[in-house]
């Protein structure tokens, strides 16, 4: 199978679509492919002057923006390794990721710059601004700031008569080189930096290009966090390789802003998470469907079709009305919503992936997929179900192939637990594969929770903080109506020892909840604690059986 070069996907698109719009901040600055190429070469000049070498790590902390995208492209096309960091991460997590990844440089958005302590990242040469590429911090007695300024001057003098297509030249970068280290978590005890070679990134792009082609000049809205592989691969890298115009929502998008953006941009493809679809269904569609008259009409064979067609159009218009399909991923879609969307012939499909595959594992076009499936495994991977009867008996999903990560950075133990000696990645998810090759996910053995904008939430991190509070024996963090709730089993022995009255326990726990939240990004914060009367049921390995618990009020 032909293995196209990841960096060439980027550079070829810039050269071939030179005069077309490439990157835009929604209701902000626009950049053509030519301007994007110029900024990439400017950053290459800065990297060279700073002594950055191929394989060096460059961390990127900031919200989605055109400049975020430029920094990403400049880093990987230089042959360096990009380390994207979610802007909502707590400052301690940012410091840890920068240090753990051995990053030489950090780009920081000015909105998050005030929250980090540069003195905690002693191995950095310095910190650059996402917005202007200028020095935000340099070590005392360092010439970092002067070198950055001279690099800007060097570039401006070299191209004082303008930057032309012939000036855009990039040294080849091998698909065998590491392109990205993507951290699935920030906290020290849970650090997993997923190492993805350029070939894994190229495999994802190649599959998307072959199975849902976009045309140069078509538009895309980027709303999912670019620091995650899902949004990065399919709202940015793939469309960019096709010459598309990508519009970035530069703030945490509210439902109102998302709808406004879709209706003004009118994207050719929509990439989203179940939460957004389910909210629209719950708030706009279901109330109408529950009305008595509409219930009667939709039950009549000759009448329900035009009604469903009208609902389909109304829902399509919410997303701009010109998309080829909506791709839903990141978490399971509600069965009720899935069945209804299929019933009205809505152009949507569900994919399945994980960071360790950069991210795609399975997908099928909207008109070829099966109800409740996550599509069929992509042609860059093999799939295996750890079950005696993979068609009918659920087992762990395992994959092997081009997409699969090299391992976890500086964590051989975790790597060995995830990838076996035959190269199979153990996903931790349970499912079956039917006779036609469609993947059906029946449960998740992992405890991952999807945040409101697609963020990965690992409850063990939060539970570790809660369990350290006075009067808490153990805890379980669970999702509840798009919020997080902490289920608490109290430490009654400690309560008795301190002479605490049980009626005063909620006040103490509430103070503890606020304390825990101060150390967490907003999307990980606990909305409330709920007392649980007994110890949580556990496996023989003393792991809590999470699947037994849910918030019921």
Name the fold adopted by 458-548: GMP Synthetase; Chain A, domain 3 (3.30.300)
Residue 367 sits at φ, ψ, to 5 deg, of -90, 5
- Label residues 136-158 b or e (16+ Cβ within 10 Å = b): bbbeeeeebeebbeebbeebeee
- Label residues 490-503 b or e (16+ Cβ within 10 Å = b): bbeeebeeeebeee
DSSP per position, 384-447:
EEESSSTTTS-EEEEEEETTS--EETT-HHHHHHHB-TTS-EEEEEEEEE-TT-BEEEEEESS-
| Euclidean distance between CA atoms 487 and 73, whole angstroms | 43
| Euclidean distance between CA atoms 512 and 465, whole angstroms | 10
Residue boundaries of the structural domains of the chain: 6-255, 458-548
Which residue matches tokens 């890298």? Answer: 237
Eight-class DSSP state of 536: P
Predicted TM-score of the model (pTM): 0.85
| Euclidean distance between CA atoms 517 and 519, whole angstroms | 5
Closest by alpha carbon to 428, among 411, 410, 414, 409?
414
Residue 17 sits at φ, ψ, to 5 deg, of -120, 35
Which residue matches tokens 């150390």? Answer: 519
Range 6-255 has CATH code 3.40.50.980: yes
pLDDT score for 543:
62
The SS3 call for residue 531 is strand
| Euclidean distance between CA atoms 485 and 287, whole angstroms | 27
Which residue matches tokens 């077309």? Answer: 20
Q: What is the CA radius of gyration of the chain?
A: 25
- Conformational region of residue 477, where left means phi above 0, alpha means psi within -120 to 50, and beta covers everything else: beta
| Euclidean distance between CA atoms 524 and 167, whole angstroms | 45
pLDDT score for 224:
92
pLDDT score for 540:
47
As averages over each run of 10 residues, the pLDDT of the chain (553 residues) reads 84 98 96 98 98 98 97 98 93 94 97 92 97 94 95 96 96 98 70 94 97 94 94 97 97 83 97 88 82 82 87 95 94 86 96 95 97 96 95 93 96 95 94 96 72 79 86 92 93 88 93 94 94 82 74 77
Eight-class DSSP state of 251: S
| Euclidean distance between CA atoms 259 and 265, whole angstroms | 10
Closest by alpha carbon to 167, among 158, 175, 177?
158
């Amino acid at each position: 199978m032909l293995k196209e070069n990841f960096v060439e996907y980027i550079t070829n698109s810039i050269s071939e679509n030179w005069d077309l719009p490439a990157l835009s901040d929604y209701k902000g600055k626009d950049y053509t492919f030519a301007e994007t190429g110029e900024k990439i070469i400017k950053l290459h000049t800065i990297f060279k002057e700073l002594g950055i070498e191929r394989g060096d790590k460059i961390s990127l902390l900031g919200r989605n923006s055109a400049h975020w995208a430029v920094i990403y492209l400049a880093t990987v096309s230089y042959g360096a390794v990009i380390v994207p960091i979610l802007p909502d991460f707590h400052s301690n997590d940012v410091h840890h990721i920068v240090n753990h990844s051995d990053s030489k440089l950090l780009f920081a958005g000015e909105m998050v710059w005030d929250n980090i302590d540069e003195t905690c990242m002693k191995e950095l040469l310095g910190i650059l601004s996402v917005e202007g590429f200028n020095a935000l911090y340099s070590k005392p007695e360092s010439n970092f700031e002067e070198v950055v300024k001279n690099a800007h001057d060097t570039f401006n003098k070299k191209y004082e008569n303008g930057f032309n297509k012939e000036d855009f030249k990039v040294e080849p970068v091998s698909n065998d080189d590491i392109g990205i280290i993507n951290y699935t978590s920030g906290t020290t005890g849970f650090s997993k930096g997923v190492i993805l070679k350029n070939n894994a990134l190229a495999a994802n792009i190649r599959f998307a290009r072959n199975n849902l082609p976009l045309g140069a000049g078509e538009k895309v809205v980027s709303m999912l966090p670019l620091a995650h592989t899902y949004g990065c691969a399919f709202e940015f890298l793939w469309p960019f390789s096709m010459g598309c115009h990508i519009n970035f929502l530069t703030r945490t998008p509210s439902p109102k802003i998302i709808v406004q953006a879709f209706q003004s941009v009118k994207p050719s493809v929509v990439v989203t998470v179940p939460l957004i679809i389910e909210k629209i269904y719950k708030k706009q569609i279901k109330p109408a469907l529950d009305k008595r008259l509409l219930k009667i009409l939709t039950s009549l064979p000759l009448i329900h079709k035009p009604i469903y067609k009208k609902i389909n159009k109304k829902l399509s218009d919410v997303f701009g009305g010109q998309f080829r399909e909506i791709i839903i991923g990141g978490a399971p879609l509600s069965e009720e919503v899935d069945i209804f969307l299929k019933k009205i012939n809505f152009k949507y499909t569900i994919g399945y992936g994980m960071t360790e595959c950069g991210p795609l594992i399975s997908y099928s076009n909207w008109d070829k997929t099966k109800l409740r499936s996550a599509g069929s495994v992509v042609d860059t991977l093999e799939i295996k179900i750890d079950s005696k009867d993979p068609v009918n008996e659920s087992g762990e999903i395992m994959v092997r192939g081009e997409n699969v990560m090299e391992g976890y950075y500086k964590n051989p133990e975790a790597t060995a637990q995830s990838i076996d000696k035959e190269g199979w990645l153990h996903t931790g998810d349970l499912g079956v594969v039917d006779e036609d090759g469609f993947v059906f996910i029946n449960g998740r053995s992992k405890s991952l929770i999807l945040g409101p904008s697609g963020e990965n939430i690992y409850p063990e991190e939060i539970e570790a903080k809660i369990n350290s509070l006075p009067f808490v024996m153990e805890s379980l963090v669970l999702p509840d109506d798009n919020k997080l709730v902490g289920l608490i089993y109290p430490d009654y022995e400690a309560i008795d020892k301190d002479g605490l009255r049980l009626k005063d326990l909620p006040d103490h726990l509430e103070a503890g909840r606020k304390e825990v939240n101060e150390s967490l990004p907003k999307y990980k914060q606990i909305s409330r604690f709920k007392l649980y009367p007994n110890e949580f049921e556990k496996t023989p390995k003393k792991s809590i059986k999470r699947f037994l618990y849910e918030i019921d009020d």
